[in-house]
Amino acid sequence: MNYQILFGSYPIPRFAGIASHNFVVMCDETGRPIFEINGGASNSDGSFNYCAIRGPLTAVVTDYAHRDLRYFPEFYLRPTSITSLLLEGSYSSVAARWRAAVDLAERIRQSGLRYSFWLQNSNSVASAVTEAMKLTPPSAAVGRVKAPGSYRRLILDAA
């Protein structure tokens, strides 16, 4: 097996599993997650706000080797998460794409954008980092009801 980049969706129980939280994950050649990128809102102390309705929009890169769920969420391992393969290849080809996603995550974190459930949220971040890797979010995981914000283009300053 090669390294992989997966697009994930976690059906949010609070919304009867109709709306989802989207994320992106990189797995090693055995299928284990190495890194994950989640969008959402951050709390004033910088921790990830799992129940966000407002706050600064953030993009968090979780390193599975250094786990801290308060600051670095993990959705890939949840039993209800669904994933779609975006890319499979050698470490160098996958890592090059992943680097673009990490760079965009940092720009989002520094952007000053505000979280909005309907407009710019975890799904906007997942779509944006996927597109930064020159990949396409799977149609089954995006949509105005299924993944609010997934079609929203984040307005970031040119880098």
Q: What are the domain boundaries of the chain?
A: 3-141
Contact (CB, 8 A) for 130 and 26: no
Q: What is the pTM of this model?
A: 0.92
Which residues, in sequence order, are CB contacts of 29 under 8 Å at separation 6+?
Answer: 1, 2, 3, 91
The pLDDT, as a whole number, for residue 99 is 98
Cα separation, 18 vs 107, in Å, equals 30
Other CB atoms within 10 A of residue 65 CB: 7
Amino acid residing at 153: R
Other CB atoms within 10 A of residue 159 CB: 7
Would you say residue 71 has pLDDT above 80?
yes
Q: Please tell me the least confidently modeled range out of 2-16, 60-74, 89-103, 128-142.
A: 2-16
